[in-house]
Amino acid sequence: MIADLSRFDPNGVSVANNNLFGLPYTHENAELIIIPVPWEVTVSFRSGTARAPEQILRASLQVDLYDSQFQNSWKKGVFMEPVDKKMLLKNDFLRKENELYLNFINSGEKIETNKFMCKTLKEVNEGCAMITEWVYQKCSEQLNKGKKVGLLGGDHSIAFGFIKALAEKHENFGILQIDAHCDLRKSYEGLDHSHGSIMYNVLNSFPNVTKLIQLGIRDYCEAEWNYICDSEFRVITYLEREIRERQFEGSTWAELSDEIINQLPQNVYISYDIDGLDPKLCPNTGTPVPGGFEMEQLSYLFKKILNSGRKIIGFDLSETGTSKDGWDENVGARVLFKMCNLMLSDN
């Protein structure tokens, strides 16, 4: 079904009754489906990202549709599914349960000494396994319809179900991870599906994820670094410090971008944790870390990925915080618009 754009003015004020970015598309006539996942049960510092999809939807009405890099890509259609309120309520309940658990273990107590806390941990892990299966089913359904898919979180753990669905569709692919953190911890804080374990879980579940390139990492533990060093270059991590040092010594971002791209396979999934950006752009993200990228640095890199002939097979955008002044959501909406155009581009 082709959308009727005869009465739609892309230069006018967004119509609030329309969908993402004020676009008049439906599920049936959109080429790209955005699946919101209101989930942040395992966030270990600040909360708020579970409600980011709804806030990003509102902020997206302020995004101008003309993008000189992609121009009319949006005309292929983007549609964001409604936020599942039952999942949001489930998230809120388990988030409180997890806070009780984390306070308990952070006080130095041993979980095996408290049956109530053992039950709480079990419920949290079961809930996180449930959302992983939910995301997998939702993404698989859209991929089987021939749709392109983007995931909007929520914390970073939401990506596992989508990557599982893609792993069934592609013989092999690589992941480009934008992040302040490695997310390579094993069962972080006793949580099997933690946002801090997402890439560890992916690499240990899907052998056809042949390469993980991590960019902007500036907060990690020794076990994660040892995992990287022992990965036989399946994981290649560009630390923030190393990127800056190479630039101080004369390397350009263009040269570094070419180096990064040359290590990616033909099919690429982009996992975009917004805390990979400079915290001035995302001050209310769950775990902000000084340093990070400007948006245009990453847009330049993504453009070069397309120009290299590689294919973007999907993306997730996670860890956008919610704020009183709407700043984080505004930035999140603009990152999402760029990612949507990237997915819809024929380049």
pTM of the model: 0.95
Confidence check: pLDDT of 347 > 70: no
Confidence check: pLDDT of 111 > 80: no
User: Rounded to an integer, what is the distance from CA 283 to the centroid of its chain?
Assistant: 17
Residue 8's SS3 state is: coil
Confidence check: pLDDT of 258 > 60: yes
Q: What's the rounded mean pLDDT across residues 244-261?
A: 98
Q: What's the rounded mean pLDDT across residues 46-73?
A: 92
Confidence check: pLDDT of 122 > 90: no
Confidence check: pLDDT of 116 > 90: no
Percentage above 70 pLDDT, the chain: 98
Look over the chain and give the mean of its residue pLDDT values, rounded to a whole number: 93
Reported confidence tier of residue 29, pLDDT bands at 50, 70, 90? very high
**Tens of pLDDT, residues 161-203:** 999 999 999 999 999 999 999 999 987 667 878 888 999 999 9
Which one of 196-200, 249-253, 286-290 scores highest in mean pLDDT? 249-253
Distance CA 3, CA 267 (A): 29
Q: Which domains does the chain have, with CATH numbers?
A: 24-344 (3.40.800.10)
**Tens of pLDDT, residues 234-249:** 999 999 999 999 999 9
- Burial letters for 35-70: b for 16+ Cβ neighbours within 10 Å, e otherwise? bbbbbbbbbbeebbbbbbbbbbbebbbebebebeeb
Q: Which residues are within 8 A (CB) of 43 and not within 5 positions of it... i.e. 6 or more apart?
A: 49, 95, 155, 195, 286, 287
Reported confidence tier of residue 39, pLDDT bands at 50, 70, 90? very high
Confidence check: pLDDT of 3 > 90: no
Q: How many CB atoms lie within 10 A of CB 113?
A: 9
How much is the pLDDT for 188? 67
Q: What's the rounded mean pLDDT across residues 148-173?
A: 97
Greatest alpha-carbon span in the chain: 67
Reported confidence tier of residue 282, pLDDT bands at 50, 70, 90? very high
Token pair 């753990």 in the structure block, residue: 157
Q: Which two tokens stand for residue 48?
A: 């708020």
Confidence check: pLDDT of 42 > 90: no
Q: How many CB atoms lie within 10 A of CB 109?
A: 12
The three-state DSSP-derived secondary structure of 236-265 is EEEEHHHHHHHHHCCCCHHHHHHHHHHCCC
How much is the pLDDT for 1? 62
Confidence check: pLDDT of 115 > 70: yes
Reported confidence tier of residue 346, pLDDT bands at 50, 70, 90? low
How much is the pLDDT for 338? 96
How much is the pLDDT for 16? 74
Q: How many CB atoms lie within 10 A of CB 266?
A: 13
Q: Residue 19: CA atoms inside 13 Å, Cβ hemisphere, count? A: 21
What spatial distance separates the first Cα and last Cα of the chain, rounded to whole Å? Answer: 24
